């Protein structure tokens, strides 16, 4: 059993059989405090695992860092309990000398839940962050058939979801080769996306030009903003986007696809990046 999952006793009820009590595997959820230069910057509820990527991706999403060289070290803080042991729930990020410290307005006033990434922003004006990596001119192109296949490809890689049924996921695809570059899971959609972005930062792949990001669930304003901050030109979700998510996608020139299912999808912005699907199932580039 890893820290990403926990075992708990559950009682299963069914109309055609007696209740059965047995252990079940659940997705773990624990707080992670992210410090920058020793000062608390945010606390988020997450599934343990890929914590350094989560912290790095979060700082990219907040506009604090933009490239791999912007972070010098990330470490877990020791002595966070009464007996001086390490909980692995507090980490500290050291920024490179050329990176200014984060604006205090960006700090989260309280714990961010796994369901709400924007909760706790110190001010409304701090919600919208301008990207270091504009996506409007990105020449990425994806066929309709490739887009339709993304949810199934993502689902195939959701190892923790397979055992718990309780995790969101985000997966990054190279639009030129079709290769699935990375998949991350978490109880929070925004955390899964931050883990993907943090992976890219650690591998010096920012900006993520020529990529598409597939997410489970809906597409919120925050997910569009995170994609924009990382330079991801295409974002696809299996459910609906919010109105504000669509507005932001239109504003920054990001392709936003929703309701991506086996045979159909809806494009809300920049449809020119997606080849149309003909009745015979073949792809056709828009004219």
What CA–CA distance (Å, rounded) separates 120 from 108?
A: 5
What CA–CA distance (Å, rounded) separates 128 from 60?
A: 13
Q: Are strands 211-215 and 168-174 parallel, antiparallel or unpaired?
A: antiparallel
CA angle 156, 245, 112 (to 5 degrees): 75
Determine contact, residues 108/120, Cβ cutoff 8 Å: yes
Determine contact, residues 62/222, Cβ cutoff 8 Å: no
Could you say which of 116, 126, 244, 250 is catalytic? 116
What CA–CA distance (Å, rounded) separates 126 from 103?
A: 10
- DSSP H or E run through 71: strand 71-76
Bridge partners of residue 125, in order along the sequence? none
Closest listed residue to residue 66, CA positions, set 95, 32, 103: 95
**Cβ count within 10 A of residue 264:** 10
User: Is-catalytic flag, 116?
Assistant: yes
Which residues are identified as catalytic? 116
């Amino acid at each position: 059993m890893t820290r990403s999952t926990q075992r708990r006793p559950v009682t299963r009820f069914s109309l055609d059989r007696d209740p059965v009590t047995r252990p079940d595997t659940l997705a773990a959820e624990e707080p992670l405090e992210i410090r920058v230069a020793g000062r608390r910057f945010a606390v988020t509820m997450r599934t343990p695992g890929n914590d350094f990527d989560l912290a790095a991706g979060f700082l990219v999403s907040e506009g604090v860092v933009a490239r791999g060289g912007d972070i010098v070290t990330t470490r877990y803080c020791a002595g966070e309990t009464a007996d001086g042991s390490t909980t692995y729930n507090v980490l500290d990020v050291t920024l490179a000398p050329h990176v200014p410290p984060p604006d205090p307005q960006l700090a989260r006033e309280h714990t961010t839940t796994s369901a709400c990434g924007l909760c706790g922003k110190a001010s409304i004006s701090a919600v919208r962050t301008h990207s270091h990596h504009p996506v409007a001119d990105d020449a990425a192109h994806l066929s309709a058939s490739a887009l339709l296949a993304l949810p199934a490809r993502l689902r195939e890689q959701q190892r923790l979801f397979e055992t718990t049924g309780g995790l969101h996921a985000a997966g990054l695809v190279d639009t030129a080769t079709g290769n699935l570059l990375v998949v991350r899971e978490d109880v929070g959609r925004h955390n899964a996306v931050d883990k993907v972005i943090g992976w890219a930062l650690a591998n010096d792949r920012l900006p993520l030009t020529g990529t598409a990001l597939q997410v489970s669930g809906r597409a919120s304003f925050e997910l569009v903003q995170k994609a924009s901050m990382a330079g991801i030109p295409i974002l696809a979700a299996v459910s609906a986007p919010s109105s504000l998510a669509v507005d932001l996608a239109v504003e920054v020139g990001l392709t936003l696809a929703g309701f991506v299912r086996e045979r159909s999808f809806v494009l809300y912005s920049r449809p020119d990046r997606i080849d149309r699907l003909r009745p015979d199932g073949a792809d056709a580039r828009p004219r």
